[in-house]
Amino acid sequence: MKVVRTAKSQLTKVDFNNLGFGEIFSDHMHSMEYKEGKWGNEQIIPYGPIEVYPGICSLHYAQIIFEGLKAFYGRNGAIYLFRPQKYHERMNQSCERLCIPQVGLDVFLNGLKALIALDKEWVPRKRGYSLYIRPFIFATDNFLGVKVSDTYRYLAITGPVGAYYKEGINPVRLTTSGEYIRASKGGLGAAKTPANYAATLLPGEEAKKKGFTQVLWLDGIERKYVEEVGTMNLFFLIGDELITPPLEGTILPGVTRDSVIHLARDWGIKASERRLSIDEVFASSKNKTLREVFGSGTAAVISPVGEIHHGREKIIINDNKIGPLSQKLYDEITGIQYGERPDKFGWRYAV
């Protein structure tokens, strides 16, 4: 693989004790181009502007997919990726839905390894911080007819990050939307593709103006069943059952979601993937069996939910405090990510 090093590293400009999310980019990126039926021209190049024609179809019709995973600086000085094979599997599933050519696992992993080896000083040393990795593929045919592109560009960019929510691990406030939906059966909901996020911007802004962190999406047909949040899957601890909505094509199959289910079952907790109506959630709050609600996602890992509004009603969960199971899951997952706890399921991948 050809490597073109940056002439001017930005590293010394970064305050590694004070990181937000997604604001800073590391020096290099992994790049490939797809034409005549195969990926090629693989290289690592400096992070910077790229030239594209204004007519490229992805700018107009959003034939694009992306992923989001992290690298962690372990206590012993090793750098670990968390479950990269699972993110890669989902990336290829998104490719399939968007008619984008898939990328081989070896190519994906070797590219990330080379990139992180070159930019290893960009991986934050501070506990709670990490290197966010954003691989993405966009269609590059310079053509305005609506059709599947023949050419593509793959890029993986990275950047050091801190907490995703300004709340940190403090509880977030969610509201359902009476007006909008995120995805419906048969649509794009399970793919990590920009259109899904574009659909949530206006409802998200309206919710933020009212003081909410994000919208809690209900299903697009009956508007009754809980689905997910803008960037997180959802879990409800009702009595002794941990419930999360099933993967029926409308929500993103979260890697953190999968990790939570594995851990909970390993700890002897009944973890169910089943439909859960918003009425059942509110009823369980009234009869005091609703113990914890939390979101799961790469960015925040576990994010406790303190308050849910639905129509004119609202519920407060666990006195607006993080619950014991949420805390235990957060500690276990981050402990595995930073190489502090045993890796029973083989989720750590040293680079």
The reply on whether position 63 binds ligand PLP by CB under 6 A is: no
The residue from 130, 233, 284, 326 that contacts ligand PLP (CB under 6 A) is 233
What CA dihedral angle connects 289, 267, 162 and 81, to 10 degrees?
-150
Picking from 324, 314, 233, 330, the residue whose alpha carbon sits closest to that of residue 281 is 314
H or E stretch at 325 = helix 324-337
Q: State in angstroms the smallest separation of the CB of 83 from ligand PLP.
A: 9
The reply on whether position 300 binds ligand PLP by CB under 6 A is: no
Residue 133 CB partners (closer than 8 Å, separation 6+): 67, 68, 69, 70, 71, 81, 112, 156, 157, 158
The residue from 161, 255, 276, 293 that contacts ligand PLP (CB under 6 A) is 255
Round the CA-based radius of gyration of the chain to a whole number and report it.
21
Q: Within positions 164 to 223, which residues make up the interface with ligand PLP, using CB under 6 A?
A: none
Alpha-carbon distances, residue 300 vs 52, 84, 164, 214, 334 (angstroms): 33, 17, 6, 13, 10
Q: State in angstroms the smallest separation of the CB of 12 from ligand PLP.
A: 31
Which stretch in 94-102, 108-116, 227-235, 336-344 sits in contact with ligand PLP by CB under 6 A? 227-235
The reply on whether position 94 binds ligand PLP by CB under 6 A is: no
**CA 292/CA 213 separation, integer angstroms:** 18
Q: State in angstroms the smallest separation of the CB of 214 from ligand PLP.
A: 10
Q: State in angstroms the smallest separation of the CB of 150 from ligand PLP.
A: 29
| Spatial contact of 94 and 193, defined as CB atoms under 8 Å apart | yes
The reply on whether position 68 binds ligand PLP by CB under 6 A is: yes
The residue from 257, 291, 310, 348 that contacts ligand PLP (CB under 6 A) is 257
Which stretch in 119-127, 236-244, 293-301, 313-321 sits in contact with ligand PLP by CB under 6 A? 293-301
Q: State in angstroms the smallest separation of the CB of 259 from ligand PLP.
A: 8
The reply on whether position 256 binds ligand PLP by CB under 6 A is: yes
The reply on whether position 70 binds ligand PLP by CB under 6 A is: no
Alpha-carbon distances, residue 119 vs 12, 101, 210, 244 (angstroms): 13, 27, 41, 37
The reply on whether position 31 binds ligand PLP by CB under 6 A is: no
The reply on whether position 83 binds ligand PLP by CB under 6 A is: no
What's the token pair of residue 115?
């990139």
Which stretch in 47-55, 94-102, 152-160, 250-258 sits in contact with ligand PLP by CB under 6 A? 250-258
**CA 302/CA 260 separation, integer angstroms:** 9
Q: How many residues of this chain bind ligand PLP (CB under 6 A)?
A: 13
**CA 291/CA 238 separation, integer angstroms:** 6
**CA 183/CA 217 separation, integer angstroms:** 9
The reply on whether position 303 binds ligand PLP by CB under 6 A is: no
Phi, psi of 209 (to 5 degrees): -60, -30
The reply on whether position 149 binds ligand PLP by CB under 6 A is: no
| Spatial contact of 176 and 107, defined as CB atoms under 8 Å apart | no
Q: State in angstroms the smallest separation of the CB of 138 from ligand PLP.
A: 18
First-to-final CA distance of the chain: 17
Give whichever of 43 and 93 is closer to ligand PLP, judged by the CB atom: 93
Give whichever of 119 and 228 is closer to ligand PLP, judged by the CB atom: 228
Using CB under 6 A as the criterion, which residues of the chain lie in contact with ligand PLP when the complex forms? 68, 228, 231-233, 252, 254-257, 296-298
